[in-house]
Every structure is written in C-alpha cells, then in structure tokens.
A and B are shown apart, each in its own frame.
Chain A
Amino acid sequence: MARKMAQQQSAPPRKNRWFPIALVVIVAAGAYWLLVGGGQGGSGPPATHPDLLEVLAEAEPDASVGVPIGPESAPITIEEFYDPSCPHCATFAGFAGKLLRQNYVETANAPVRWVSYDYMVGFPNSVAASLAARCAGEQGLYWPVHDLILSRQTRWYQLADPADAIAEIATQAGVDADAWNACMRERRPLEDIAKSHQFGVSRGVNSTPTLFVDGVPVDLGGVEPYTHIESLIQARIEALSSGDDPSDSGQGAP
C-alpha cells in the first residue's frame, strides 16, 4: 500500500490539481457564507398605536407583573424593559442578553435573577408579540417564546397582520395551540402589559432595552453591553460578599 501511495505521489501534478482547487473553493465559499450570508437583520421606523396608548394610559404601575427567570434566592436582580419589535432589543437579546443569562442566570448557584418587563415604544405589532409571550407564559413557556419572538423579529414586526407569523413561532416553541389561541383572542395579559409599561414609565424608562441592576439604571451608551453588565454584576457580587452595599435604590424589584 505504501508503494501504491508513493506512486500516486509521483504522478503528474495535473492529476492532483483538483484537491487544492477544491480546498480553495470550499474555504472561499465558507468564508463568504460566514461573513455575508450568516447574519440577518433590519430595522424599520417606529409607528404609533393610539388604541394601545389609551389602554396604557389607564393602567397603574405594577412591579409584580414582570416575568422572572433564575432563582428567587439570587442576590442580584436585573430588570429589563423591552419592546419585542425594537431592533436593539433583538440584537441585545441575541448576544449580550443570551450570554448573560447563560453565565449568570441559568447556571447552578446563579447569582442573578432576570425579570422581563414589557415597555411599548410604539411599534404597531409589539402588543401582539408581547401577548404571545405572556400567553405562552400561562403554559410555562414565556421564555422560549420571548426568545424566538426576538430572534425571528424580522419575520413578523413589519407585517400588516403578524398573527400567523407569531402563531407559528408560538407553535414551534411548543405551546398548546388551543389554550394559547384562547388567551390571544381574549387578550388576557393585556392589562399586565399595560401595568408593566406604566411601571417602566414610573422608573424613568423612555427607550428599549433599558436595564436596571439591583435598581440602578444601566447606561448602555457607547459600551459593549455584555462586558459592561458583567462588570456591574461582578461589582455587585464583590460588594455583597464584603458586606459593603453601596446601592440603595429603593426601587423594589420583585
């Protein structure tokens, strides 16, 4: 066999040219795919939704309508106000939010409890998307639908009628379709969404995503979100372990 291979090695170069060419073609195609074809994105202009604004105006702020993930005993609470149609929220959720939850919320002895609040910036399809996640929450599937709604934002947020696209997302997350559809028809969580929004207003939120670490607002301007929030978490852990708790926000996160 060694002799056979040696013969092949000494064969005329033309016979072996296909291999380096194939290598180059695969490398070029793969690099192009990773750099150009992989990412998806987009943004659109916000629009107002007068009916929703009317509902929102009548609600009272309520901190208890936030949807938590992570251990109740976690010493640190991060509150996130998000609008499901907001492109920055999708970007944040797809990278920094995902990593933060993986590393600090969904681990053993997680130090952080993450609470999600709806804050309606004014996009037309946001209410339907927020309802979808909260209706899934009635079946214990808030976070899978929340995450899919954001990661697939470009598929529904600019549609004139996003109902089918959002229903498809909920179905793929595993909701019981009949129960979920009933919740959506009755818009059961609408009041909670309105209370959540008003809670944000009461906290000074005016854009999304807005985060609070143990009640202290996070300034995301000009920083890399994951690194910045991670440093805030580490600082809180150190402060709590040394008994020195400099924050006294009094905001009362759930």
Chain B
Amino acid sequence: MSELNRRRGIALLALAGLFLSTYLFLYALGYYGELACGAGGSCDLVQGSRWARFLGFPVAGWGVGWYVAVFGVSMLGTRDGIVAAGWIPRVLAVLALGGLAFTIYLTALELWVIHAICRWCVGSAVITLGIFLLTLPDFRALRRSG
C-alpha cells in the first residue's frame, strides 16, 4: 500500500471513529437518554462507571479530540506540498501509540474491573487498532528522529 493511500485509510478510520466517539460524548453530556446497545448490552454500565471520566472529562470527549487530531494530521499528510513533510509520520506515530495504549487501558478496565463490555468501546478499539497498524511504517520516522 502506498504512503498516500495509507494516510487516506487512516483519515477514513479516524472519521468513522470521530462519529462514534461523538455519539458517546453526546450521551455523556446527556443529549441521549439511552445508548443504542442491543439486547443485554452493557453500554450504560460502562458509560455510567467512574472510569467513564478521565482527568475530570468524559473519556469519549478525549476520544473526540484524539480522532480529530488523527484525522487532521492524516488529511494534511495527503495534501500537495505537505505530503512529504517529515513531521507528519512522527506525529501520526506518536498519536497512534498513545491511542493504542489508552485503548488497552480502557479495554482492560472493561474486562477485569467493570466486568462489562460496551460495543461502542469495542468498535472504537478496533478502529484505533486499525489506525495503529496503518501507522506502523511511520514508526521508522519516529526511530530516526529519536
């Protein structure tokens, strides 16, 4: 896969994740009375737990910010004149690594602390993993700069 298409793929995944996290963020702000979670779903339980906030702010809100950042940087990375800029792969690699680490932390909380799985959180985790896999070649740039 070419670098340009990789960045486009990252941008598309980030855009999908942005809508997903926006949905959860709007729920956290009270705009939706109930999450569409399917029979037996535990979304309310996860979203209502004390781990649904991080540093005093809803986790979904952090997710919105992260997806906006990934989408913005990856879209910039597809533009003429910026496409070859050396900082793009470094920033993408840092964002992807941070996002994956936070996703692992949240998934571990769901599995072993809250004992409930929110399908939207799983969806976001899959998207984050996809973004991480697509940014793997960018880690070369990160190593070079390190």
Contact = CB atoms under 8 A, between A and B. Distances in A.
A41 B33 contact: yes
B12 A23 contact: yes
B72 interface: no
B22 A148 contact: no
Interface residues of B, number: 31
Interface in A6-45: 8-9, 19, 22-23, 26-27, 29-31, 33-34, 37-41
Given A5-B3, A8-B2, A23-B12, A154 B83 contact: no
Given A40-B34, A98-B30, A173 B45 contact: yes
Contact of B4 (A5, A90, A94, A144): A5
A153 B33 CA distance: 9
B108 interface: no
B16 A30 contact: yes
Contact of A26 (B2, B16, B84): B16
A99 B33 contact: no
A151 interface: yes
A31 B16 CA distance: 11
A91 B33 contact: yes
A5 B84 contact: yes
B83 to A, nearest CB: 5
Nearest to B16: A26
B36 A40 contact: yes
A95 B33 CA distance: 7
A169 B42 CA distance: 9
Interface string B105-116: 000000000001
A39 B30 contact: no
A29 B3 CA distance: 26
B19 A26 contact: yes
Given A4-B2, A22-B12, A151 B33 contact: yes
A177 to B, nearest CB: 14
Nearest to B58: A102
Nearest to A9: B80
A22 B18 CA distance: 15
B32 A19 contact: no
A9 B12 CA distance: 18
Interface string B1-45: 011100010011001101100110011011111101000101011
Interface string B53-97: 000000000000000000000000010100110000000000000
A90 B12 CA distance: 36
Nearest to A87: B33
B26 A152 contact: no
A172 B26 contact: no
B48 interface: yes
A37 B34 CA distance: 11
A99 B34 contact: no
Contacts of B8: 19, 22
A27 B11 CA distance: 12
Contacts of B84: 1-2, 5
B33 A40 contact: yes
B3 A40 contact: no
Interface of A: 1-2, 4-5, 8-9, 19, 22-23, 26-27, 29-31, 33-34, 37-41, 90-91, 94-96, 98-99, 144, 147-148, 150-154, 168, 172-173
17 contacts: A2-B84, A5-B3, A5-B4, A9-B80, A19-B8, A26-B16, A27-B15, A31-B19, A38-B23, A38-B27, A91-B33, A94-B30, A94-B34, A95-B31, A144-B48, A152-B44, A153-B34
